[in-house]
Amino acid sequence: MDAIIVIDSDIQKCSCIKAVLEFVDYENIHMAGPDDWQNALVSPDKLKAVLITESVVKEAPQRVAALKEWAPQAPVILIRDTGGKARLGKDVSSKILASIGYPLKYQDLTSTLQQAEVYCATRGKAREGSHSPELFRSLVGNSRGIQQVRRMIDKVSDSDATVLILGESGTGKEVVARNIHYHSPRRNKPFVPLNCGAIPSELLESELFGHEKGAFTGAISARQGRFEMAEGGTLFLDEIGDMDMQMQVKLLRVLQERTFERVGSNKTMTANVRIIAATHRNLEKAIEDGSFREDLYYRLNVFPIEMPPLRERAEDIPLLIQEIIKRLQHENRGSVSLTQSAVMALSQHHWPGNVRELANVIERLVIMHPFGVVDMRDLPEKYQVDPGGEDAQVPDYTMIKIDDPEVARIPRNGIDLKEHLSNLECTLIKQALEDAEGVVAHAANRLHLRRTTLVEKLRKYGIQRADEVT
């Protein structure tokens, strides 16, 4: 995919545009008239961009559809007649990736062509379809906090122990619950989530335990509850802190006796269900306030896992951004790439809504800048940082950025390659050391380096080895 085709009725204008493209180092540029692009000596699947002028499109808007039919994978870029706006019908503009004014401006041209490249790269990946959809969302992150959580998941998955996951909203509590289930012997049985806070308390009992026909007004037929649905598997009781006291008693009984009855039935059923509960509330405080039962708390709190808020693991932010973009690409919802300064700004945000808020921001960027390159100043205002301000201290980890070579981009104002690479090296070494719990030989293994080479590098970067700490 390296060819570009320029379409206009005026051959003079075509060659003018071609000259500009060549001037900024693009090669393999073909020219064609309004209806003879099929005759151009280029195969449509080799095209990385089609540049078509506004006058050609206005003359016959159906040309764009025909063009898309001929080269469905190629991004179409409109060259407007002037610097102003082009007025085109909706079905035409939906087939156009971006437009640029004429005469061409260097900045616009390069960033638009970059956008086209990202578009092609993503399309290519979507077509390969080699990645099967993930059954559960993996727990991304390399921070100490997330590594600790991963170790806890490893420890508890094999058992049937009840797990209580605590942490602010959006930190990934459900991700953890799904991971535990997935790594447990129950993985081939259902994982059944229930948001206890979202269901009115009078309905919660029948939701959990099911009901018999006629058990209450409206119970026109018998129905299974979540406990039955989760038989053999895992029941995830989300927002358990929002459950009312009456239901808490009933839940406690199931946890103690492992039996329950459907509403309106006296037939006792046994439950072979693993319970994972989660809440963003402080349950100890709720006990003090009298809104949560202490005995239930102890039943649930067998194995607590605490999810750290995102602001305390800012070094995970670049990885999470990458993961979220991958997901959006996978779902064919588009893509973006972020410059380093954009990633840096996002790494400094406070994130009261945690990973969920981050995912929302990225989704918004994909909509606002489809396949575009997002710089710090393109971020919604509250995520921008003042480059002169005190917050401008850039921590090392922000240098990692999107490490997918196809997506990695040089920021508009250039990059100090040497510094970037040594920062990256330093970060990866620190990470390897952390993973290896300070054992240099193991860290060297992880980095495919000889031990002595790593020791040298540690000295060069002034990184302390665990065994040197006195």
Ligand X SMILES: Nc1ncnc2c1ncn2[C@@H]1O[C@H](COP(=O)(O)OP(=O)(O)O)[C@@H](O)[C@H]1O
Residues 6+ apart with CB under 8 A from 94: none
- Residue with smaller CB distance to Mg ion, 44 or 241: 241
Packing angle between helix 317-330 and helix 354-368, nearest 10 degrees?
50
Q: Could you tell me the smallest distance in angstroms from the CB atom of residue 195 to Mg ion?
A: 7
117 binds, among Mg ion, ligand X, none (CB under 5 to 8 A by kind): none
Instruction: For 154-286, list the strands marked E by DSSP.
Output: 163-166, 191-195, 210-211, 223-224, 234-238, 259-261, 268-270, 274-279
Concatenated DSSP letters of 393-450: ---GGGGS----TTT----TT---HHHHHHHHHHHHHHHHHHHTTT-HHHHHHHTT--
Decide whether 174 or 207 has the Cβ nearer to Mg ion.
Answer: 174
Exactly one of 8, 54, 117, 174 binds Mg ion (CB under 5 A); that residue is 174
Residue found by looking up tokens 């693009």 in the block: 26
**Is residue 141 at the binding interface for ligand X, with CB under 6 A as the rule?**
yes
Residues 150, 155: Cα–Cα separation, whole Å: 9
Each residue 359-388 as x (binds ligand X by CB under 6 A) or -, in order, gives x-----------------------------
Q: For ligand X, which is the closer residue by CB, 50 or 156?
A: 156
Q: Can the peptide bond before residue 103 be classed as cis, meaning omega within 30 degrees of 0? A: yes
**145 makes contact with ligand X (CB under 6 A):** no
Please state, in angstroms and as integers, the Cα–Cα distance from residue 33 to each residue in 18, 45, 77, 81, 260, following that order. 14, 19, 16, 16, 76
What does 171 bind: Mg ion, ligand X, none (CB cut-off 5 to 8 Å by kind)?
ligand X
318 binds, among Mg ion, ligand X, none (CB under 5 to 8 A by kind): none
DSSP secondary-structure letter at 277? E
Q: Which of residues 169-188 bind ligand X (CB under 6 A)?
A: 169-175
Q: How far is CA 401 from CA 321, 345, 346, 386, 407, in A?
A: 9, 12, 11, 20, 10
Q: Please state the length of the chain.
A: 470
Stretch in the footprint of ligand X (CB under 6 A) among 137-145, 253-261, 415-423, 439-447 = 137-145
Stretch of 9-17, 93-101, 171-179, 249-257 lying at the interface with Mg ion (CB under 5 A): 171-179
User: Tokens 């981009």 sit at which residue?
Assistant: 409
Task: By CB under 6 A, tell whether 311 contacts ligand X.
Answer: no
Residue closer to ligand X (CB basis): 31 or 361 = 361
Smallest gap from Cβ 170 to Mg ion, in A, equals 8
- Give the one entry of ligand X, Mg ion, none that residue 141 binds, where binding means its C-beta sits below a cut-off of 5 to 8 angstroms depending on kind: ligand X
Q: Of 139, 424, 428, 463, which one interacts with ligand X (CB under 6 A)?
A: 139
Q: What span, in angstroms and rounded, lies between the C-alpha atoms of 411 and 13? A: 31
Sole binder of ligand X in the list 86, 140, 229, 463 (CB under 6 A): 140
Tokens describing residue 316: 């995970």
Q: Are 182 and 136 in contact (CB under 8 A)?
A: yes
172 makes contact, choosing from Mg ion, ligand X, none, with CB < 5 to 8 Å by partner type, with ligand X
Cβ proximity to Mg ion: between 174 and 212 the closer is 174
> Looking at 59, 65, 81, 137, which residue binds ligand X (CB under 6 A)?
137
> Which entry of Mg ion, ligand X, none binds 8, CB below 5 to 8 A by partner kind?
none
Specify whether the CB–CB gap between 126 and 108 falls below 8 A.
no
For the bound state, the minimum distance from the C-beta of residue 327 to ligand X, rounded and expressed in Å, comes to 8
**Residues making contact with ligand X (CB under 6 A):** 137, 139-141, 167, 169-175, 323, 355-356, 359
